[in-house]
Amino acid sequence: MASVYIPNAELENKMIVRKYRELLSYMYDKTTLEQRKLIRKAFTLAVNAHKDMRRRSGEPYIYHPIAVAKIVTQEINLGTTSLVCALLHDVVEDTDYTLDDMREIFGDKVATIIDGLTKIEDLVIDSNLSIQAENFRKIFLSMSADVRVILIKLADRLHNMRTLSSMPTEKQLKIASETTYFYVPIAHRLGLYAIKSELEDYAMQYTNPNTYQFIADKLKATEEDRQTLIADFVKPIQERLDAQGIVAKMSSRTKSISSIYQKMKRKNINFEDIYDIFAVRFVFDSEPEDEMRICWAIYAIVTSLYETNPERERNFLIHPKPNGYQSLHVTAMSKTGKWVEVQIRSKRMDEIAEKGFAAHYKYKEAERTPKEYDNRVEEWLMKIREVLKSDKTNALDFLNEIKLNLELKEVFIFTPKGEMKQLPIGSTVLDLAYDLHTNLGDQCIGAKVNFNIVPASYVLKNGDQVEIITSKKQFPKADWFDYVKTSRAKERIKEALRAQQKKTQNKGQSKLKAYFKDLGIDYIKTNYARVQAELGFKSEVEFWDYVAQNKLSEERIKKIFSNERNSELEEFQKKVSDEITSKSLSQLIDEELTTNPSMFMLDDTSENIRYRVSACCNPIPGDSVVGFQLYNNEIVIHRTDCPKAIEQMSKFGNRIIKAKWRKEQNLAFLSGIRLTGFDKKGMIKDIIDIITSQLNLNIRSLNIETKDNVFKGTLMLYIENVHALNELMEKLKKIDNLEKIERIGYDIE
């Protein structure tokens, strides 16, 4: 049970002063007298502005901006302006101070950053608007001009996650989901590895607490063995380093709990099967021109002492990751038979790996960072600006486009002249064509990839050499959206289609005007809208295209405006009207409840509300669940760690509904188990005997596949709750040769 905070004004004031002095002490040698005066002014204003405010925990609100300022300076490595903005980041949003006040007191730059950090609260919200997506768009609009906006926002989010335990459950789920969906990829893209890992782990504590605790317990239980293994592994390497006069600091890091869980899911393996739970790191200090040589010297020592896995070598020295990460990785077999990942890098590389974008600028000032990294960051910001250019994109579409641009995995491809290009993994020939030039994209019909003819939809692979093939008769089509990945390509296709539609519309309007003139009909919106309605076109684009292609005759128009009855239209309208009025919404819902067994009453405090179990994650009683309200007020129930639920909650946090299972509920829910092992006589009989004879469960389907003596099966059955499912899995584990039993996650529809 969480402790209750008891306010004490005298102790709180002493604590505020202490926190401020600690902050100033850290910055003292990095600031001038004028800068320290500016920090003091910001601190004083923030304390006064928030003096009557408290956090949900009961603590004075000012603790929060001071903590954010500490993260900004000590964990992200930013300077005075960022510190001032961190102290003031909630002043405009939560107090009577305005942006004009900030501009007058602290200048334009501080006011602009604070504006980017201030949430949009006064939007008129309709059913199609996501307030969260609108706020994210505002953040990126500000970030495209000054990247410090998002860095301070990340610090703000990190402190909120560190203190999330005091929030109510629905708020915890909203904030944790938002963090996973949006802030974690941002931190990753900007190279803030430490912050990214911490955000991920905190979010997992709330969306998937049981698995988080399971992995945490496993890590604690195996910690002593890991430390012994590391010491034995490193000792001979350190002796060789000393002998060669190479000064390198050794450290080890354990993979974050969230990363371990993601790997378990991705590889479909158990905790014990993950060999890179920890990594050993050697970091040395040197001049930039000596970095490569020393990295390879340490690599040579490791490979001379231990057998290595060539498939697990990673050279990020020549081609850093898009976020600037540079390191040399080699995986070696220890004397105990365990694989150990070794990371080799300079102090400069290590700081950029941990603090990313901000650390890069520290070294940029000293001209110690490769220009390629600066170019990569600027290219990414340019892509963000391209997405922002489109005023046709709504906030949710914008957020999805931004998510694509946060993707770190890339493919390296080459033009016919040997120029290297980088695109997000999954990009196609058409993406490359638009990346090279808009005209190449608009006229692309395919390409020669490694001298072989491929279609424009071909997905590019690392090392492909690509020559774009064009035709002057080619022009963009709507179905191109199905196989382009980059926002640049999508935006260029949209522009081309809009231009075509405009041209078609002008041609159609000219034709219709001529028809109306011949028939003596006024060319006004009411009249041409009547023609559109009579023809049954809901889309104006389709209507004008129809007219432009000479498919509409004067006789047809004449008939529409005559007194003759349009029997087809009337019959259609009558049919639609009958369907709308014959049954009430409640009747339709009741009928659906009768025919759809996955609809059920969830909470005994809400007798009149109907819920539906989501097919994407198949929650069953005992699972931690959350309700999500749809536009039609129907509530869909997801497991709290379901990726689809996390995405929806990150966009529409206001629609989260508390959900719990009715204890006395006695229904059967569809669930699934995946089985893997080595085949033996009687295996299927043993499985069915446990399910039907011992536990009296109802099987819906059992699919078995055996190849080269390896047994794989998928079992779908109806079960009452998660406890019954766990009991079944425990009994199945006792069958000889059945090596792995796991609950099916989110892939069964």
CA 746 to chain centre: 17
Shortest CA distance to 178 belongs to which of 648, 746, 658, 659?
Answer: 648
3-state class percentages of the chain: helix first, strand second, coil last, to nearest 5: 55, 15, 30
- Mean pLDDT of the 696-703 span: 79
Name the token pair of 462. Answer: 């690392």
- Find where tokens 């974050």 sit: 256
Q: In terms of DSSP H, where are the helices of 461-618? A: 487-519, 525-535, 540-548, 554-561, 567-582, 585-595
- Find where tokens 């078995």 sit: 704
Three-state SS for 730-749 is: HHHCCCCCEEEEEECCCCCC
- Find where tokens 């059920």 sit: 600
DSSP state letter for 481: G
Answer whether residue 605 shows pLDDT above 70: no
Answer whether residue 649 shows pLDDT above 80: no
For the question of residue 641 being annotated catalytic, the response is no
For the question of residue 94 being annotated catalytic, the response is yes
Residue 355: other Cβ atoms inside 10 A: 21
CA–CA dist 481, 489 (Å, integer): 9
Name the token pair of 314. Answer: 């990673």
Greater confidence, 622 or 177?
Answer: 177
Q: What is the pLDDT of residue 693?
A: 81
| Mean pLDDT, the chain, integer | 79
Q: What is the pLDDT of residue 570?
A: 47
Q: 269-292, pLDDT tens digit by residue?
A: 888 888 778 899 999 999 888 999
Local confidence band at 676 (pLDDT 50, 70, 90 cut-offs): confident
Answer whether residue 573 shows pLDDT above 50: no
Name the token pair of 312. Answer: 């697990």
Shortest CA distance to 490 belongs to which of 438, 531, 552?
Answer: 438
Beta bridge partners of 600: 611
Shortest CA distance to 622 belongs to which of 595, 596, 597, 640?
Answer: 640
CA–CA dist 649, 656 (Å, integer): 7
CA–CA dist 341, 697 (Å, integer): 45
CA–CA dist 664, 628 (Å, integer): 23
Q: 407-416, pLDDT tens digit by residue?
A: 556 777 888 8
DSSP state letter for 119: P
Which amino acid is located at 289 in the chain? Answer: E
Under 8 Å between Cβ of 341 and 312: yes
Residue 62: other Cβ atoms inside 10 A: 25
CA 90 to chain centre: 25
- Find where tokens 């931690």 sit: 624
Residue 687: other Cβ atoms inside 10 A: 22
The number of residues in the chain equals 749
Edge-to-edge order in the sheet of strand 625-629: 599-600, 611-613, 635-639, 625-629, 656-657
When mean pLDDT is compared across 7-21, 221-235, 486-500, the lowest value belongs to 486-500
Q: 506-536, pLDDT tens digit by residue?
A: 888 888 888 888 888 888 877 878 888 777 7
Based on the number of CB atoms within 10 Å of its own CB, is 258 exposed (0-12), middle (13-18) or buried (19 or more)? Answer: buried
- Sign of the Cα torsion 315, 319, 320, 321 reads negative
For 43, how many CA atoms within 13 A lie in the half-sphere containing its CB?
A: 22
Under 8 Å between Cβ of 356 and 193: yes
CA–CA dist 643, 354 (Å, integer): 27
Which is the catalytic residue, given 94, 285, 354, 647? Answer: 94
CA–CA dist 505, 512 (Å, integer): 10
CA–CA dist 41, 214 (Å, integer): 47
Which is the catalytic residue, given 22, 93, 287, 736? Answer: 93
249 to 347, 358, 540: CA distances (angstroms) = 9, 23, 68
Q: What is the pLDDT of residue 495?
A: 84
pTM for the complete prediction? 0.62
186 to 178, 179, 369, 373, 513: CA distances (angstroms) = 12, 10, 21, 17, 52
Pairing state between β 444-449 and 452-454: antiparallel
